[in-house]
């Protein structure tokens, strides 16, 4: 427990340090000289974060799920995906928004004792769902930044931060890729959830199911429109943001259910 807490604390500090270096990079408009240092620090933070989280998440034949480690997992996945996208694209500037959140949520499981022991079958479904929330959350952040960047670009009012972001074409490409990956995870989450539903009303799952399916329909509508009608730009951003609002409502419903069942 002591080692886990120490790892979480160090990871949090490294996330903040990476955020600070990113802000300096944006302000000074430096390039590769500091980029690799930032990515290296973020990678160590992610590894320590993952170790600390695993000690609170896994417990023998059960998965300990709670609000604290749920948010921590979302931040961990978001940070990990950001690092993966940097393999072939320079997207590290997005860490200015992701890393501070990861720094705060890394230590949440240490202070919140709201764990709910779940069997591996149900726990795996919950983890898949959280993965979908995480990826779609990253896509939503990307959509907000893209929308703001595109509008300011048209008005020729780009700030220093917006200028430091990847080009609009790259931002849009990343957004579509995130939506596709998140949509696959969300589809698996909905399909796997069928095995645990006996009675929607008796299990108080109607709220969660309704908003999750609504979010899935909005995402699928956009993807069909994108590939068949070429929907992109601001329309892509709006669909992504609205769909994630429904997904967040579904997540809140999940938390209320878990509190009701396990307390």
Q: Model confidence over 226-244: pLDDT tens digits?
A: 999 999 888 999 999 999 9
The DSSP string of 83-112 is HHHTTTS--GGGHHHHHHHHHHHHTHHHH-
Q: What single-letter DSSP state applies at residue 195?
A: G
Edge-to-edge order in the sheet of strand 58-59: 58-59, 62-65, 116-119
Question: Is the Cα dihedral 237, 239, 245, 251 positive or negative?
Answer: negative
The DSSP string of 205-237 is -HHHHHHHHHHHHHHHHHHHHHHHH---HHHHH
What pLDDT is attached to residue 199? 41
Res. 225 pLDDT band, cuts 50 70 90: very high
- Output the six-digit token pair for 166: 């990847």
Q: Which of 31-35, 128-132, 146-150 has the lowest mean pLDDT?
A: 31-35
Percent over 90 (pLDDT), the chain: 26
Contact 249, 208 (CB under 8 A): no
Q: Which of 75-79, 164-168, 187-191 has the lowest mean pLDDT?
A: 164-168
Q: What single-letter DSSP state applies at residue 204?
A: T
List Cα–Cα distances, 185 to 18, 84, 217, in angstroms: 29, 17, 14
What pLDDT is attached to residue 203? 47
With a cut of 90, say whether residue 6 has pLDDT above it: no
Q: Does residue 233 or residue 254 have the better pLDDT?
A: 233
Alpha helices in the chain (DSSP H): 2-28, 32-57, 67-85, 95-106, 108-111, 120-155, 160-164, 168-193, 206-229, 233-262
When pLDDT is averaged across residues 92-107 and rounded to a whole number, the result is 87
**pLDDT tens digits for range 28-74:** 765 566 888 899 999 999 999 999 888 888 776 677 777 778 788 88
pTM to 2 decimal places? 0.77
**pLDDT tens digits for range 173-205:** 888 989 999 999 999 888 877 766 544 444 445
List Cα–Cα distances, 212 to 48, 75, 168, 187, 208, in angstroms: 32, 20, 30, 10, 6
List Cα–Cα distances, 187 to 75, 125, 138, 192, 253, in angstroms: 21, 11, 17, 9, 18
What pLDDT is attached to residue 115? 66
Burial category of 2 from C-beta neighbours within 10 Å (exposed 0-12, middle 13-18, buried 19 and up): exposed
């Amino acid at each position: 427990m002591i080692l886990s807490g120490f790892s979480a604390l160090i990871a949090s500090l490294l996330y903040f340090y990476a955020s600070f270096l990113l802000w300096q990079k944006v302000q000074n408009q430096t390039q590769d000289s500091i980029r690799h240092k930032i990515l290296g620090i973020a990678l160590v933070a992610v590894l320590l974060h993952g170790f600390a989280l695993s000690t609170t998440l896994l417990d023998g034949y059960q998965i300990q799920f709670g609000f604290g480690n749920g948010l921590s997992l979302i931040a961990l996945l978001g940070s990990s995906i950001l690092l993966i996208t940097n393999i072939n694209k320079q997207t590290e500037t997005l860490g200015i928004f992701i890393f501070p959140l990861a720094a705060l949520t890394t230590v949440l499981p240490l202070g919140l004792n709201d764990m709910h022991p779940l069997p591996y079958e149900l726990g795996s479904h919950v983890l898949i769902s959280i993965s979908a929330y995480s990826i779609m959350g990253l896509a939503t952040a990307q959509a907000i930044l893209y929308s703001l960047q595109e509008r300011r670009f048209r008005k020729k009012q780009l700030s220093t931060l917006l200028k430091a972001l990847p080009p609009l074409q790259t931002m849009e490409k990343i957004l579509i890729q995130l939506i596709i990956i998140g949509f696959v995870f969300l589809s698996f989450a909905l399909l796997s959830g069928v095995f645990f539903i006996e009675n929607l009303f008796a299990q108080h799952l109607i709220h969660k199911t309704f908003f999750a399916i609504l979010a899935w329909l909005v995402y699928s509508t956009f993807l069909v429109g994108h590939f068949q009608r070429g929907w992109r730009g601001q329309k892509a951003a709006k669909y992504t943001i609205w769909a994630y609002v429904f997904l967040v409502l579904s997540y809140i419903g999940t938390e209320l259910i878990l509190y009701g069942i396990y307390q």
